[in-house]
Amino acid sequence: MTTRLKQRSGTKKTAIEEPSFPFEHLSEIAELESWRKEINRPVYHIHKWWAQRLGSVFRAILLSAFSPPGTDILAAFYTRRFASNKVVFDPFMGSGTTIGEAIKLGIRAIGQDINPVSHFLVKNALAAHSRSKIVQEFEAMETDTAPAIRRFYQTRIGSGLFPMSLLLKCSTTFG
């Protein structure tokens, strides 16, 4: 135990170790994220996972762990990219929250999980995908499934049967 304390005392402090670290404010941000999941839905949370963690919590941890004392964490929290030569390793990546937040901050991230489903989902959620390829795949799925399910999306008005998409277009155009 004393060896660990001696080793730690020789390292530089980080922003999270300061008495002025804004725990309360960051907790409020995390609470908002937890209650408004329909608004705060990062790509690595699209699929269901057992223990999804809040991105705001891990973003704050990463920022403050890699920032020197005196860093305004609240100002840095909303910056687009945080230049770093650091690496984060998450041996239990699950849904990929730590990996995703690290990548958003420009930190190299390595994730691993014993569950191959986790690996597959995170890899695909965070990979770069061609927009044209996504549209092409969507159109192929629509071609295959639309005829079978289109009948469920109709409504009867008077003696006619109308597709819901037509009604939605009319209501958004005129209403």
Determine the pLDDT at residue 137. Answer: 94
Asked if 80 and 146 sit in the same domain, the reply is: no
What pLDDT, on a 0 to 100 scale, did the predictor assign at position 46?
65
Those residues whose C-beta lies under 8 Å from the C-beta of residue 83, and which sit 6 or more positions away, are 106
Asked whether the beta carbons of 100 and 43 are under 8 A apart, the reply is yes
Structure confidence at residue 9 (pLDDT): 55
Are 109 and 87 a contacting pair, CB within 8 Å?
A: yes
* Whole-number pLDDT of residue 88: 92
Last residue of a domain, one of 106, 126, 146: 126
Q: State whether 135 and 108 are in the same domain.
A: no
- Predicted local confidence at residue 152, as pLDDT: 77
Q: Which of 110, 139, 137, 134 is nearest to 123 (CA)?
A: 110
What pTM does this model have? 0.67
What pLDDT shows up at residue 164? 58
Q: Give the chain's domain count.
A: 2
Q: Identify whether residues 121 and 136 lie together within a single domain.
A: no
Please check whether residues 60 and 142 belong to one and the same domain.
no
DSSP conformation class of 156: E
Q: Where are the beta strands (DSSP E) in the chain?
A: 87-90, 108-111, 154-157, 160-163
Q: Which two tokens stand for residue 69?
A: 């004392």
Q: Looking at the structure, do residues 154 and 76 belong to the same domain, yes or no?
A: no
Q: Answer yes or no: do 150 and 106 share one domain.
A: no
94-109 pLDDT, tens digit each: 889 999 999 888 899 9
pLDDT for 113: 93
Inter-residue contact 112 to 93 (CB < 8 Å):
yes
Q: Consecutive 10-residue runs of the chain (175 residues): their mean pLDDT?
A: 49 83 86 73 67 83 88 84 82 91 90 91 89 94 87 72 55 48
Within this chain, do residues 137 and 68 fall inside the same structural domain, yes or no?
no
* Cβ burial, residue 59 (10 Å; 0-12/13-18/19+): buried
Pair 126, 105: CB distance under 8 Å: no
Q: What's the confidence (pLDDT) of residue 53?
A: 81
What does the pLDDT read at residue 25?
Answer: 86
Q: Which of 118, 43, 51, 105 is nearest to 79 (CA)?
A: 105
Q: 7 and 54 share a domain? A: yes
Whether residue 113 is found in the same domain as residue 153? no
Residue 108 CA from chain centroid, whole number: 16
Residues 119 and 142 in one domain: no
Among 107, 126, 145, where does a domain finish? 126
Residues 9 and 81 in one domain: yes
Provide the domain limits for residue 169.
Answer: 131-174
Residues 61 and 40 in one domain: yes
